[in-house]
Amino acid sequence: MTAVLGATNLGKKYGRNQALTGCTLDIPAGHVVGLVGPNGAGKSTLLNLAAGMLTPTTGTIEVCGGIPGSGPAQLAKVGFVAQETPVYSGLSVADHLRLGARLNPGWDDALAHGRIARLGLDPRQRAGKLSGGQRAQLALTLGIAKRPELVLLDEPVAALDPLARREFLADLMEIVAEHGVSVVLSSHLVADLERVCDRLVVLVGGEVRLEGDVEEILATHRRLTGPRRDVATLPAEQRVVSASHTDRQTTLLVRTEAPILDPQWTVGELGLEDLVLAYLSGTGTTRRPALEVLR
């Protein structure tokens, strides 16, 4: 399976601060990948490294078969919409499209103008006068019309109202279906990711804690509730993600591919949001390596 983004022991420091530590990833092409983590986890750093806006301190990263930012041909493979959905407030929508055409050799002018018309944006309108949702759509149009292999989106819907978020994500899925691009989408809004993403990467403290197919992740995690016990007595194949205890009861979130045979456990399934929050909470009992990779 071809990797659209691969990283090996990737690290990035800002002065004394370590933004990424030993990040190893292998994201296959043809997927919409949700990138989640708390503030400061390294999500924006990873996306900026993938876009070629930053260089690693340690390790390596490869995107679409090349080194990020290594030249015009490599830059053309990646569309990047940064967290603030950057557009030039003094330029009109039409000015942005003309700029995109001049800067990108593979620019699809028909695609760009077709999206702008369908969205109802006035080409004469200055970007500074657009709503947040309209600016996000303009930025997405610029990222897509260069015909990239990979689109990187850093919190593109964070400032949008629920309706604008839904419209933006619906447009994103339409673009994926029509043009076959791969997407890595960073967001704190797990419910939005659950609607559009088929793979997930969880970053905590600059490290990858979980990576894999969403359906497989959900199928291999269970919530166990039963009489209080020491987690060290669990079968070896049950990997504990989080544990909480009262005087009489233990509640665990475990990853396992084996059936739960102990009749003392009440077994429950989890939604993606509950599962992600368990990985982010830092309350886990670490009996085994924290990184879980599901292929």
pLDDT at 1: 55
* Same domain for 270 and 193: no
Rg (the chain; Cα; Å): 21
Q: What is the mean pLDDT of residues 193-208?
A: 91
Which residue type occupies 42?
G
* Same domain for 201 and 125: yes
Other C-beta atoms closer than 10 Å to the C-beta of 53 total 15
In 124-177, beta strands by DSSP E:
150-154
Q: Is the pLDDT of residue 157 over 90?
A: no
pLDDT, tens digit (0-9, with 9 covering 90-100), for 75-99: 999 999 887 777 899 999 999 999 9
Q: How confident is the model at residue 168 (pLDDT cuts 50, 70, 90)?
A: confident
* Same domain for 230 and 112: no
* Same domain for 43 and 170: yes
Q: How confident is the model at residue 74 (pLDDT cuts 50, 70, 90)?
A: very high
Q: Look at residues 157, 186, 214 and tell me which one is the last residue of a structural domain.
A: 214
Q: What is the mean pLDDT of residues 32-45?
A: 92
* Same domain for 194 and 263: no
* Same domain for 136 and 60: yes
Q: Is the pLDDT of residue 165 over 90?
A: no
d(Cα 2, Cα 46) in Å, to the nearest integer? Answer: 20
Other C-beta atoms closer than 10 Å to the C-beta of 62 total 15
Q: Answer whether residue 231 is part of any domain.
A: yes
Q: Look at residues 214, 242, 262 and tell me which one is the last residue of a structural domain.
A: 214
* Same domain for 242 and 192: no
Pairing of strands 150-154, 78-81: parallel
pLDDT at 117: 95
Instruction: Give residue for tokens 């045979």.
Output: 261
pLDDT at 268: 93
Instruction: Give residue for tokens 């659950």.
Output: 194
Q: Answer whether residue 100 is part of any domain.
A: yes
Range of 232's domain?
220-287
Q: Answer whether residue 226 is part of any domain.
A: yes
pTM score, whole prediction:
0.87
pLDDT, tens digit (0-9, with 9 covering 90-100), for 201-257: 999 988 899 999 999 999 999 999 999 999 999 998 999 999 999 999 999 999 999
* Same domain for 127 and 231: no
* Same domain for 117 and 83: yes
pLDDT, tens digit (0-9, with 9 covering 90-100), for 129-153: 998 888 988 998 999 999 999 999 9
Query: Is the separation of the CB atoms in 84 and 44 below 8 Å?
Result: no
pLDDT at 179: 85
Distances (CA, A) of 202 to 66, 68, 152, 275: 24, 22, 16, 10
d(Cα 20, Cα 16) in Å, to the nearest integer? Answer: 12
* Same domain for 228 and 110: no
Residue 78 maps to which CATH number? 3.40.50.300
* Same domain for 148 and 78: yes
pLDDT at 282: 58
Q: What is the mean pLDDT of residues 159-181?
A: 85
d(Cα 189, Cα 197) in Å, to the nearest integer? Answer: 12
Query: Is the separation of the CB atoms in 35 and 186 below 8 Å?
Result: yes
